[in-house]
Amino acid sequence: MSDTIERIKCLIIGSGPAGYTAAIYASRADLKPVMYTGMQMGGQLTTTTEVDNFPGYPNGTDGTAMMEDLKNQAERFGTEVRFGMATAVDFSDEIGGIHKVTIDGNKQIEAETVIITTGATAKYLGLESEERLKGGGVSACATCDGFFYRKQDVIVVGAGDTAAEEATYLANICNKVTMLVRKDYFRASKAMEKRVNRTENIEVLYNTELDEVLGDNVVEGVRVVNNQTQEKHEIPVTGVFIAIGHTPNTDIFKGQLEMNDAGYLITHGKSTKTNKPGVFAAGDVQDHEYRQAVTAAGTGCMAALDAERYLGSLE
């Protein structure tokens, strides 16, 4: 299967804010990291134009430009950034053991430490109009994009804790929030449901689904359908927040690393350590709670420090 084997000190899988920050710290600590970027070089932020909340950019920045800056910074200290996907892993259980990672099905990397920053992917409904208007009013992140809809009317799709949290967050910023709940009840905890019901400017439409997002280049409204009566009606809104969950990119780690029921990697205590010595996880792949570029970058820094200390402890 493998036609080449390469032995390195530190392998970073993924090129989002967590991966590049880990790379900056690991290369400055002389771990000579090699990064495989995956198919989405730069990660999720390359799918958005405006990043307004990352510290250090007083006028905001473009997501792709910001990730290019992070890449250049990592390369300045010697990180080798390569395009490629990790397709299989065989992690050692031994302290000081060598971890084997297959790249693109044919190249094998043997690494003393591995930092996993493969992120998570937001789920969408799959409507053509939703796809077309992503970035033009359709978003999967209220914390990231809510501010752009200040004092405006928005829709939140979803009925779980995340949807309820996003709706209450948006209610503080927006004029009115309409929640579309597919069933006739919430999946969110009772406490979150109460918070939604107590919030005056949230209206909940039960048995209601998004039929189409309206607008050519920007969102001008939505058409919703009552799944009991099949009646449709339009609601004028400028923002549509899809809050139906995320899928962590952890398929290749199944059976190798501890994960929770939703597939997020489990890290131990206040560290980025996984259950395998020398394997660390940072960013959205281990964080279903905060999911922000700055928190991903923070844990990326932690992972590089954890990797450096782990190698130091072996000497």
Ligand X SMILES: Cc1cc2nc3c(=O)[nH]c(=O)nc-3n(C[C@H](O)[C@H](O)[C@H](O)COP(=O)(O)OP(=O)(O)OC[C@H]3O[C@@H](n4cnc5c(N)ncnc54)[C@H](O)[C@@H]3O)c2cc1C
The set of catalytic residues is: 141, 144-145
Which residue in the block uniquely carries the two structure tokens 């970035």? Answer: 135
Which residue in the block uniquely carries the two structure tokens 């053509």? Answer: 128
Dist CA 73 CA 207 (whole Å) = 49
Residues 6+ apart with CB under 8 A from 236: 153, 220, 221
- Coil, helix or strand for 109? strand
Phi then psi for residue 270, to 5 deg, are: -90, 15
Q: Interaction with ligand X in 290-309: which residues (CB under 6 A)?
A: 291-294, 296
- Regarding 249 and contact with ligand X (CB under 6 A), the answer is yes
Q: Tokens in use for 44?
A: 């999720």
Q: Provide the minimum distance between the beta carbon of 296 and ligand X in the complex, in angstroms, as a whole number.
A: 3
- Regarding 122 and contact with ligand X (CB under 6 A), the answer is yes
Q: Interaction with ligand X in 5-24: which residues (CB under 6 A)?
A: 13-19
- Regarding 64 and contact with ligand X (CB under 6 A), the answer is no
- Comparing CB distances to ligand X, the nearer of 106 and 189 is 106
Q: Tokens in use for 50?
A: 């405006």
Amino acid, res. 140: A
260 to 245, 265, 295: CA distances (angstroms): 15, 7, 20
Q: Provide the minimum distance between the beta carbon of 35 and ligand X in the complex, in angstroms, as a whole number.
A: 9
- Regarding 284 and contact with ligand X (CB under 6 A), the answer is yes
- Total binding residues for ligand X by CB under 6 A? 41
Contact 178, 237 (CB under 8 A): yes
Query: Which of 2, 8, 28, 53 touches ligand X by CB under 6 A?
Result: 53
- Comparing CB distances to ligand X, the nearer of 142 and 196 is 142
Dist CA 242 CA 136 (whole Å) = 13
Dist CA 143 CA 292 (whole Å) = 8
Dist CA 309 CA 281 (whole Å) = 15
Binding segment for ligand X among 40-48, 221-229, 232-240, 257-265 (CB under 6 A)?
40-48
- Comparing CB distances to ligand X, the nearer of 44 and 267 is 44
- Regarding 36 and contact with ligand X (CB under 6 A), the answer is yes
- Comparing CB distances to ligand X, the nearer of 196 and 296 is 296
- Comparing CB distances to ligand X, the nearer of 47 and 201 is 47
Q: Tokens in use for 230?
A: 């099949």
Question: How many other CB atoms sit within 10 Å of the CB of residue 119?
Answer: 26
- Regarding 239 and contact with ligand X (CB under 6 A), the answer is no
Binding segment for ligand X among 2-10, 176-184, 191-199, 286-294 (CB under 6 A)?
286-294
Query: Which of 33, 43, 137, 239 touches ligand X by CB under 6 A?
Result: 43
Residues that bind ligand X (CB under 6 A): 13-19, 36-41, 43-45, 47-48, 51, 53-54, 85-86, 117-119, 122, 139-141, 144, 249, 252, 283-285, 291-294, 296
